[in-house]
A and B are shown apart, each in its own frame.
Chain A
Amino acid sequence: MSNLPLLSICIWLPIVGGLWVLFAGARAPALAVKKESLIISAATLLFSIPLYTGFDLSTAEMQFVERLPWIPVFDMTYHLGIDGIALPLILLTTFTTVLVVLAGWEVVQDRAYQYFAAFLILEGLMLGVFAALDAILFYVFWEAMLIPMFIIIGVWGGKRRVYAALKFFLYTFLGSVFMLVGLLYLYFKGGSFEILDMHRLPLALDAQKWLFVAFFLAFAVKVPMWPVHTWLPDAHVEAPTGGSVILAAIMLKVGGYGFLRFSLPILPDGSYYFEGVMVALSLIAIVYISFVALVQRDMKRLIAYSSISHMGFVTLGLFMVFRIMQHSGSAEGAIMGMTGGMVQMISHGFISGALFLCVGVLYDRMHSREIADYGGVVNTMPKFASLMMLFVMANCGLPATSGFVGEFLVILASAKAGFWIAFLAATILVLGAAYTLWLYKRVIFGPVANDAVAALRDIGRREQVILIALAVAVLLFGVWPAPLIDVMRTSIENLVLNVVTSKLP
């Protein structure tokens, strides 16, 4: 197994498979298309498992490296490899895509083959983002990702889908182009497009500051951080369920991944210079956006704001390291914070994905996302209500769910960064509980609100499979996060060491 180019298979299998579905699917019966898509995504998941079983926990070096000449005139290579930071995200991607294909099974009627093809191609591109070690290769995957997502939102989305799709595309495109200028500048300075060479390149403080801003625009828009988050609620609300799941579970993570792979290691001094701003923006996202979530009347919009708030925890975990090092002097706290941020990313992938699927389940039946249209769903959909209960609790950070692990690690680490940071970060436990539990109460509990709710049927087997798979993941990493933390430990230790070492010439 180890001789196979596993990363390439994981990237290209869904892309080629997706193109095949796109061309063959117009004439094929819908069921055959769905089965093909499921097989392709399941095969990709299977091929990604040896990445985990064969992963060497003891080294921070890149593993499963593949390197082929790509554009020889500029020494650009098709260079893939993963470390402990990329691996969990890759597994999250392959896992989520299978569920998304299942989730679209009966729901999507219009041009179904294009729908599945778009998700498969998108999966391959996202895996490419996490595996690329050549900066331009990374950028190509990063931008190409926008195209299928643009189509998904625009074709299968809700009423204001055109507006949401255009806003999504232009907003994220605007953020990313400056990263391209930054990458080309780094090439001009260092003569290499290799990300790992960029990690070693000494840079003056002024250059680092500018580059940090350029990268910040790209990654912060994707995360999204306050105040560049405004595209997300629109995109989430209008996207079809599968699109929302992929957006929340994976696309937001590429922003966090970008900070980990580019901003922090390439620009440690720039990051240090801006860390106060980053911590402040993260805290604003956590506190302010939680309040915004509290007043939403649309379920998807509420979960979208909850996502922004939870992603604030990720960026807080990543950019607290400098403060923790200053206060405590030991790397242990910094590692804990960053690990917390990473765990939070994975866990949020499961939880927000699950919550969007739950809303999707309701929307498929009622064709409404308004909280006011619901009430007493538990009476007609008890199985659904109990599963959603778990995800809601996980979103509040209940112990024994994966949501707890990430938040706990970040809050614990933030105590070493300063009292007020810890205090503000911990408000999420209160505010998060407030908006999610209130949402749950209004939708699920209470008397049956209207005839439509009374006529609801409980989730079928397909929906049960999807939600139970996610429930297992949430509980598994909640009670036993060790496998996840072990995978990333060495890479994060190495990263923290790099980040606190100045690169000024």
Chain B
Amino acid sequence: MNMTDYIGALPEILLLALLCAVLLVGVFSADEDRNAAYWLAQFALLAVFAANTYIGARTRLVLFEGMYVRDSMAIVLKNFILAFAIIGLVYARDYLRARRIVSAEFYVLTLMAVLGMMVLVSAGSLLTVYLGLELLSLSLYAMVAMHRDSAMASEAAMKYFVMGALASGLLLYGISMLYGITGSIDISVVRNALADGGGGPIATYALVFIVAGVGFKLGAVPFHMWLPDVYEGAPTAVTTFIATAPKIAAFAMAMRLLVDGLQPLSSDWQLMLTWLAVGSMLLGNVVAIVQSNIKRMLAYSTIAHMGFLLLGVLSGNTGGYAGAMFYAIVYALMTLGAFGVVMLVAGEGSAEADRIQDFRGLAQRSPWFALVMLILMFSLAGVPPFAGFWAKWFVIKEVIATGHVWLAGLAVLISVIGAYYYLQVVRMMYFEQPEHMEEVHASGDTEIALSANGVAVLLLGVTPGVLMAVCIAAMRG
């Protein structure tokens, strides 16, 4: 262990230090709106973003004796996690303030979850994976429960915790078996050992548990049960956070475990992921149709999107991984915006605007934000010229390249089913008359961020090449 190890991990170390500072500010500041904690948290994320971007070599670094990997995939994904956390905090602030549930702990837990994600993304050993995952998950459980007076939130937190603990246990069980076979928790050593010895049936047995753990984090069928309840029950600000950055981290977890570690078993996990993907796309899109609560609808939409993401992973080549990475980033961007609009429409009062009905006539109340939501909905549905189309395009292209044309056909067919419920939101906003003409308001920074979010989805749809190139380069490097 030497200095370069610490320099390579500097972004995480910095985040940890600033996180403690936010905690202290929270304790000693008397401000009701927790402005100091908010701005310090934002500063922390920005500083870590800068540190992550500029510090260290561009080449692959293996630190702390293999525990920690800093490669270009990690750098890119961490930057997006940080960026989405920053925007998520901007959206969350108005919402939390209006509902009097603002507290410094929210910001601390957010930073802690981000730290967990960064550790997870950079995991070089099975233990680091578990460490990052638990840091992330425990923060999220607490965040879901933050709205103490809400029975729904408490119920959601409870469910999330119980299911999450079970999934962690499964994952840990799988890890222990891998350790038993290979005698190491270092992911690259595990890989080499499996490649040499094959591993036999016990390795496949371990794989099942690992896939279950990954599937739970992504929210893929049949490990999706927690997702709709948590999305609906948690305060929307927390849902926004859960739905975005952690999905990127979950993708990284899949890459670290399945691709970096269990590549020798790829034919097994490809088959498992195929069924997970098909099940997720089908169940997510079909069940979303009957939802009347937009948070629940977006939860099922998430399940469907994770199915598409898995299509990229299961194609088993660099292009497919790059496609899945592109999908994860674009998905998070779109979902962030969609929940941002949900919080915006909820407005200043303490009520939620989580029924699809609440979007009635938004086009007349606020033409601009209705347009932003229209862009996001069509993008989620995968209609060009928006970013979501390219995400689907990319993974489907890779699926066809691996020869699974039937799977591609099934995926596009299911995406048409999915279009239906996104169109319902557009329909409410544009085709129906509003119940009242009250204008939709938010603070200036929220409006700017939300506008930028919508425009980004459009611009990324017109020129997706840059981000595609970044993803491909990240997967090669």
Contact = CB atoms under 8 A, between A and B. Distances in A.
Partners in one complex: yes
Interface of A: 22, 26, 70-74, 76, 111, 114, 136, 139-140, 143-144, 146-147, 150-151, 154-155, 161-162, 165-166, 169-170, 173-174, 177-178, 180-181, 184-185, 187-188
Nearest to A174: B416
A449 B378 CA distance: 47
* Chain B at the A interface: SS class: helix
B101 to A, nearest CB: 35
Contacts of A136: 393
A140 B385 contact: yes
5 contacts: A72-B465, A161-B431, A169-B423, A178-B409, A180-B396
A19 to B, nearest CB: 10
Given A111-B364, A162-B427, A184-B408, A140 B384 contact: yes
B409 A70 contact: no
Interface residue tally on B, bucketed by range:
35 or more
B175 interface: no
B43 interface: no
A185 B393 CA distance: 12
Interface string B363-396: 1100100010010001000011100010001001
B469 A184 contact: no
Contact of A170 (B364, B420, B463, B465): B420
A147 B378 contact: yes
Contact of B468 (A71, A143, A162): A71
Contacts of A70: 463, 465
Given A73-B468, A144-B384, A174-B413, 5 more contacts: A76-B465, A139-B384, A140-B385, A162-B431, A178-B412
Contact of B385 (A26, A144, A166): A144
Interface in B449-477: 463-465, 468-469, 472
B419 interface: yes
B271 interface: no
A114 B430 CA distance: 11
Given A139-B384, A162-B427, A173 B397 contact: no
Contacts of B371: 22
Contacts of B363: 111, 114, 155
Contacts of B420: 166, 170
Given A140-B385, A165-B431, A177-B412, A185 B405 contact: yes
Contacts of A162: 427, 431
Nearest to B364: A111
B393 A180 contact: yes
Q: Which 10 residue pairs across A and B have the least CB separation, nearest first? A: A71-B465, A177-B412, A140-B384, A154-B431, A174-B416, A143-B384, A73-B469, A184-B400, A184-B397, A144-B385
Contacts of A185: 400, 405
Contacts of B385: 140, 144
Contacts of B24: none
A238 to B, nearest CB: 11
A144 B389 CA distance: 10
Indicate the member of A144, A146, A180, A187 with the most B CB atoms within 10 Å.
A180
A166 B423 contact: yes
B415 interface: yes
B151 interface: no
Nearest to A161: B431
Indicate the member of A114, A155, A162 with the most B CB atoms within 10 Å.
A162
Contacts of A147: 374, 378, 383
B389 A143 contact: yes
Nearest to A169: B423
B7 interface: no
A140 B472 CA distance: 22
A166 B412 contact: no
B458 to A, nearest CB: 10
Contacts of A184: 393, 396-397, 400, 408
Contacts of A151: 426, 430
Interface string B258-289: 00000000000000000000000000000000
A498 B364 CA distance: 52
A111 B415 CA distance: 31
